[in-house]
Amino acid sequence: MTETSHDTCTPFPEPAVGEIRLEAVLHALADPVRLRIVSSLAGCADEVNCLAFDVPVAKSTLTHHFRVLREAGVIRQFRRGTSKMNSLRTEDLAARFPGLLDSVVAGHRATGARPT
Amino acid sequence: MTETSHDTCTPFPEPAVGEIRLEAVLHALADPVRLRIVSSLAGCADEVNCLAFDVPVAKSTLTHHFRVLREAGVIRQFRRGTSKMNSLRTEDLAARFPGLLDSVVAGHRATGARPT
């Protein structure tokens, strides 16, 4: 885990690119709520506030899902002021597991975009 | 689940192509033993006998792993005489989730081929 600090943009701990494990990424993605989050983030040019996700689960459950994604290396989370922001680690995942994220997001959009 | 019968080559129940769910495939692949099985099968031109896999787990555990893979739609299992044979559903998965299996197998071979 690496961590850096910045007054207005503090990232939470996350695995370095070379530490991202395939099993952890697949486990993180093997959940309908987390797939929806990842698919939403894949369609955003910028980072997204945690509160912006329209998924029908309790806030504490959503916090858990974001943590699983971050600890697996799928997303980056950081604090900006009082907000917790999220972004996909698109380039890191493409470097570590070429094609994986793209095929998962495309597969989800083609077949799995059902209410959870 | 569809099932057909044949005197010498009886497949076990498996989801039809259109029923294969992304979450189930990702869950099935999110395990080091199952990733090794899939990676081994991806390198075989033909089906492989269950007993041919060199993974350090009990036979009953291996049976469980094969069932998870089959029920998710990742592999096909069938009986040939007294042997249970396995093959990857490569074409079905490529049709349902293009690029997914290739990226997972390549990722496993590049980063995850450790003893389990």
Q: Are A22 and B103 inside 8 Å of each other by CB? A: no
pLDDT in tens, A42-64: 988 777 776 677 788 888 899 99
- Closest by CA to B63, choosing from B82, B84, B81, is B84
pLDDT score for B6: 43
Within 8 A of A108 by CB-CB distance, chain B residues are 22
Instruction: Please answer whether residues B107 and A97 qualify as being in contact, where contact means their C-beta atoms are separated by less than 8 angstroms.
Output: yes
Q: Most B CBs within 10 Å: which of A17, A20, A22, A29, as the mutation test of the B interface?
A: A22
Do the Cβ atoms of A22 and A92 come closer than 8 Å? no
Residue type, B78: F
- Distance (Å, rounded) from C-alpha A3 to C-alpha A71? 12
Q: What is the residue type of A39?
A: S
Helix segments in B7-58, DSSP class H = 22-29, 32-42
State the ipTM, two decimals. 0.86
Q: With contact defined as beta carbons under 8 Å apart, do A68 and A28 qualify?
A: yes
Could you give the maximum distance between any two Cα atoms of chain A, in Å? 42
Give whole-number Cα distances, B66 to A31, A81, B94, B103, in Å. Answer: 21, 49, 20, 21
For every one of its 116 residues, what pLDDT tens digit does chain B have, with 9 covering 90 and above? 554 444 456 789 999 999 999 999 999 999 999 999 999 899 887 777 766 777 788 888 999 999 999 999 999 998 888 888 899 999 999 999 999 999 999 999 998 755 44
Q: Rounded to an integer, what distance in angstroms lies between the CA atom of residue A1 and that of residue A19?
A: 8
Which residues of B are less than 8 Å from A30 in CB distance? 23-24, 26-27, 30
Q: Residues near A88 by Cβ (< 8 Å), separated by ≥ 6?
A: A38, A41, A42, A74, A75, A76, A101
Q: Which residue of A has its CA nearest to B29?
A: A26
- Partner residues linked to A75 by β-bridges: A88
pLDDT in tens, chain A (116 residues): 554 444 456 789 999 999 999 999 999 999 999 999 999 899 887 777 766 777 888 888 999 999 999 999 999 998 888 888 899 999 999 999 999 999 999 999 998 755 44
